[in-house]
A = this chain, B = another copy of it.
Amino acid sequence: MKPDELVRGVEATLFAAEEPMTAEQLSAHLGGADVREALVELAQHYSERGIRLVERGKRWQFQTAPDMAHLLRREKEQVRRLSRAATEVLAIVAYHEPVSRAEIEAIRGVQTSSGTLDVLMEAGWVRVAGRREVPGRPVIYATTPEFLSHFGLESRKDLPGLDELKAAGLLDPVDDAYEAMTSLDDDDSEAADEPFEETEDGDDAVLENHEESA
């Protein structure tokens, strides 16, 4: 059964493309045709082959099937090894984005060297996503489509365990979590409006003293 011309066109175009392409880019390349059905059909066709057609952050690309890794890996290990710090920072950016450096450091309890974020930005996985409109206007960071593509995620919703972490409140700041846990039996909740900052009075300042006034 020969696939129709549009399917063949989408197949050839994505196959030849050097970068993943969005449905819109494909459509523009193919004279404005509606490519969505063709993409679905192709993804279906390739679902059991040695090659897959996958969607990563709204962009489509061909790649080898994951179970072929053992055949291909032995020749080329192209993936850079991330330091432990970079790995953690990447996860924090991905699960909390957009996130400032101070917020990253609040979670890790340690200063983040600028080199760590640089490595992630150089890899094309993290980008500056503007500034937060709070005093000091800190730079905030977010992940890129290349991040999704590299880690095989269709969208951020596919981040492993994201829903569980959300449900457990583990993506909320400590103050919010503390507030939530104690609001029932604690009336004077003065700390609620001072994220990360109620510690100036000394006692648990030790926990915060790694933050950088970025």
Residues of chain A from 163 to 214 with CB closer than 8 A to chain B in the complex: 213
Report if A48-B3 is in contact (Cβ < 8 Å); known contacts: A29-B74, A62-B15: yes
List, in ascending order, chain B residues with CB within 8 A of A120's CB.
none
Q: Please measure, in the bound complex, the distance between the C-alpha atom of A213 and the C-alpha atom of B51, giving whole angstroms.
A: 32
Give the residues from 48 to 72 in chain A that come closer than 8 angstroms, CB to CB, to chain B: 48-51, 62, 64-65, 68, 71-72
A7 within 8 A of B: yes
Known contacts: A30-B71, A64-B16. The answer to whether A50 contacts B9 by CB under 8 A is yes
- List which A61-102 residues lie within 8 A (CB) of chain B: 62, 64-65, 68, 71-72, 74-75
Q: Which residue of B lies closest to A7 (CB)?
A: B50
Q: Give bound CA distance, A31 to B9, whole Å.
A: 35
CB of A134 within 8 Å of the partner chain: no
Bound complex: CA A64 to CA B10 (Å)? 11
A75 to B30, CA, bound (A): 11
For this chain, the copies found in one complex come to: 2
A50 to B15, CA, bound (A): 9
B contact residues around A103 at 8 Å (CB): none
- CB within 8 Å of B: which A1-34 residues: 2-3, 7-13, 15-16, 29-31
What bracket does the count of chain A residues touching chain B fall in?
A: 20 to 34
| B65 and A8 contacting across the interface, CB-CB below 8 Å | yes
Identify which of A2, A31, A51, A62 gathers the most chain B CB atoms within 10 Å of its CB: A51
CB distance from A67 to the nearest CB of B (A): 8
B11 A49 Cβ-Cβ under 8 A: yes
Which A residues have a C-beta under 8 Å from some C-beta of B? 2-3, 7-13, 15-16, 29-31, 48-51, 62, 64-65, 68, 71-72, 74-75, 213
